[in-house]
Amino acid sequence: MRYKKKYDKFIKDIENPTPIKLDLAPYWLLATLRFVLTLTPSIGYIHPDEYFQSIEVVAGEYFDIDVYKPWEFNTTFPIRSITIPYLTVGIPYAILNRLSPYSFYIFGTTLKSPYFLLVFPRLLICAISFISDYCLYKICYIYGQNYRTRLITYASSYVILIYSTRTFSNTIELILTSTLLYFVAKCMAISDSIVHKDDYLSDKYKRAGNVVDRVKYFKLRASLPSHSLNNCLILATITVIGIFNRPTFMAFAFAPIFFWLQRGLGSKNIGLADFHIRIFTFVLCAIPTAVFFILADSFYFGYLTMSEIQNLQISINNFVVTPLNFFKYNSLTENLASHGLHPKFLHLMVNVPLLYNVLGLVGLFAFGSLVYRGLRGRWSELPRIQSIIGLMTASFILPIIMLSIFPHQEPRFLIPVTLPLIFLHSQRIRQVSNLNTVTRVDNNNSSFAFKRNKNNTSKMLVIWYVVNMVLTFFYGFVHQGGVLPLVSHLAAELKAKPYVTNIHLFTSHTYSIPTALLQLRNTRKIYVTKEQRKYKLAKDFHLYEQGSESVEQIYENIAQKIRECEKKLKSKKQPYRIYYALPASFLNEFAAYTFHNESQVFHHKTVKMFYPHLTVERLPSIDFFNECTDFDSLEICTKKIVENVLENVYKFVHQLSLVLLKIESPVTTSSHVAKNTILY
């Protein structure tokens, strides 16, 4: 019995570690920064999916507004599950709905503004993102590693500061992968200890020379806690949730689940029978969660109704499995081509360095070194297959290789590998010993000893911090940074405009406008008056996204819309306003074409410029050599460039904005064009 108590205490120590006093002040500062960036909020716009696969999907269910659900959630062939967006966005919006009347009563303002509609879901995502931090800490503690430097490196990554606070499905994937790794690492630690003791006692039992010793060792073996199916239900549930959140989670779950299945294989008392039992039990444990997600999606998308259940009119066609549809869709290259095809080396050569800069390069070179050692037959220099290093190495490189098979590759697809990469290599950029940084000392105080290089900083560490600061600012505030301020401006305009006025907004060379934040009135709902008369609200906001169309086509589309609106104004007395939002880097071209066009010219004036805003679809262009002529010498040319450097810098900064133009009715000559919209 006393041996069983000893092992119970061992497992308790792993699950509930004794707090260790380390200087975590830098980490808490970075954690606070993550929270502040969420509240600010950071206006950078990384990708439309952060709105159109979450907020736009759910907002219409909680507010009486028009929304534009993306194609991934169409009822004919849905490829995304609705459950996770309902939890991550639906819960914050339900709270916002409850608080909004009180806010209006006490402060005289509603919470249904673009700021709160954006921040409430982000706050929830930010809060649950700290689960991954906690998982990293627990893994480090279990295996006696220096969690301080790893937590600081983790929290200082722009991937965590920016991506992990956004409503991406990839962010949920990051959190689920971290949780899965923690539970697998804990199971591996427990199993390693118990298997080692079991083999030792089994060997003693066989060598015992008398019955008394045999009974003693038999009882000791029997007192060892069970470990073969530890956390099976939890792991199966996390895996299913991850797959229904984003089916690519299979790539991130493959290595952890395999390592969980093969724990102890090769020892004296664990064989292939245990391996197959674990597989069978894992599948059984996964079934309830999978059934729940299938039923939820089937009800939501209209494949299954309560009347069909009551009448027992149910067939296989009443159920929809969104991950299966996802793989069917992405198996066709022509479907992926509509989203952009990339070379298969893009993840390894571009996306990993873009996400993790020097740390990503260190990780790739370290894996290349392992491959080299394996090819040279230096097996003793490779990590043990059942070790934590083996688990983290596989969890880092295998998902990248598996996702590289698909020709559509974006950096955010790889953010779930953040934890294993930082666990493996964060010490290297700090010039600290990679593994033996914390050595457990077995005494009553459970203290820790540290081995640290005297040189606490390195060039790689400086690069790490500088690059992450730059990318935090770029993706947090500059990249498409004018879109959200534009939304706030439009929301105020819609609220203040005369009731019958129609607003038409053209956009080009920028990301899609998240219309759910505008709280557009619901034009699809049928309202009923007290006299039982049915009616619908007329649409008063119209959005025309021009993408990367040519200036000629955009001009013609705006002119055509003006002609249509003028006819309605004369016949139905329906006033209108037309706006055009475009990057400042495209404004000169548009203004010049408007000025020189003879067939149909209209007024346009700048309403507002939203800083900062940079779009890679239309980068700012500055010609520093435009002051030089063919007759200028090098000295004269250099002098001209230096003299005009401030002017050129001003021109460049002026192009880092999103411009909102007001388009007015056409005139007959080009002399009335507003020339003041030209930047330079």
Give the domain ranges of the chain. 2-474, 483-677
Place of tokens 């109704």: 305
- Specify whether the CB–CB gap between 651 and 627 falls below 8 A: no
| Predicted pLDDT at 189 | 93
The average pLDDT across 648-673 equals: 74
pLDDT tens-place string over residues 80-138: 999 999 999 999 999 999 999 999 888 888 899 999 999 999 999 999 999 999 999 99
- Specify whether the CB–CB gap between 43 and 484 falls below 8 A: yes
* DSSP summary character for residue 662: E
The larger pLDDT score, comparing residue 1 to residue 159, is at 159
The average pLDDT across 595-601 equals: 70
Contacts of 642 (CB under 8 A, 6+ apart): none
Residue 14 pLDDT greater than 60, yes or no: no
- Specify whether the CB–CB gap between 134 and 17 falls below 8 A: no
| Predicted pLDDT at 130 | 97
In degrees to the nearest 10, what's the CA dihedral of 640, 645, 646, 649?
A: 140
Residue closest to 163 by CA, chosen among 488, 416, 373: 416
Contacts of 310 (CB under 8 A, 6+ apart): none
Q: How many CA atoms lie within 13 A of 633 on its CB side?
A: 2
| Predicted pLDDT at 617 | 81
Residue 140 pLDDT greater than 70, yes or no: yes
Contacts of 289 (CB under 8 A, 6+ apart): 236, 237, 240, 241
Task: Go through 323-337 and write b for each residue having 16 or more CB atoms within 10 A of its CB, e for each that does not.
Answer: bebbeeebeeeeebe
Indicate the pLDDT class of residue 443, thresholds 50, 70 and 90. very low
Q: Which of 84-93, 269-278, 332-341, 634-643 has maximum average pLDDT?
A: 84-93
CB atoms within 10 A of CB 142: 19
Angle between helices 169-207 and 211-222 (to 10 degrees): 170
Place of tokens 């900062």: 612
- Specify whether the CB–CB gap between 423 and 138 falls below 8 A: no
Residue 636 pLDDT greater than 80, yes or no: no
The larger pLDDT score, comparing residue 625 to residue 388, is at 388
| Predicted pLDDT at 431 | 65
| Predicted pLDDT at 496 | 87
| Predicted pLDDT at 653 | 85
Residue 437 pLDDT greater than 60, yes or no: no
| Predicted pLDDT at 391 | 95
Residue closest to 501 by CA, chosen among 568, 560, 559, 580: 568
Residue 19 pLDDT greater than 70, yes or no: no
How far is residue 632 from each of residues 234, 626, 635, measured CA to CA in Å?
74, 12, 8
Please state, in angstroms and rounded to a whole number, the distance separating the CA atoms of residues 677 and 680.
9
Counting runs of H as helices and runs of E as strands, what totals does the chain give? 27, 9
- Identity (one letter) of the amino acid at 89? V
Residue closest to 30 by CA, chosen among 148, 157, 170, 136: 157
- Specify whether the CB–CB gap between 174 and 399 falls below 8 A: no
Of 59-63, 242-246, 533-537, 666-670, the least confident: 666-670
Residue 360 pLDDT greater than 50, yes or no: yes
In degrees to the nearest 10, what's the CA dihedral of 288, 292, 298, 299?
A: 140
Host H or E run for residue 323: helix 322-330
Q: What is the mean pLDDT of the chain?
A: 86
> If DSSP codes are grouped into helix, strand and coil, which group holds residue 541?
strand
Structure tokens at 592: 């010049």
Structure tokens at 223: 């007192």
Vertex 597 angle, CA 596 and 602, to 5°: 105
> What's the sign of the alpha-carbon dihedral 479, 480, 483, 486?
positive
Please state, in angstroms and rounded to a whole number, the distance separating the CA atoms of residues 343 and 581.
33
How buried is residue 18: exposed, middle or buried, by Cβ count under 10 Å (0-12/13-18/19+)?
exposed
Vertex 448 angle, CA 444 and 449, to 5°: 130
How far is residue 653 from each of residues 53, 191, 471, 510, 649, measured CA to CA in Å?
33, 59, 18, 18, 6
Residue 445 pLDDT greater than 50, yes or no: no
| Predicted pLDDT at 515 | 92
Structure tokens at 326: 């996802």
The average pLDDT across 332-346 equals: 87
How buried is residue 283: exposed, middle or buried, by Cβ count under 10 Å (0-12/13-18/19+)?
exposed
Residue 435 pLDDT greater than 50, yes or no: no
- Specify whether the CB–CB gap between 482 and 658 falls below 8 A: yes
Q: How many CA atoms lie within 13 A of 258 on its CB side?
A: 15
| Predicted pLDDT at 280 | 96
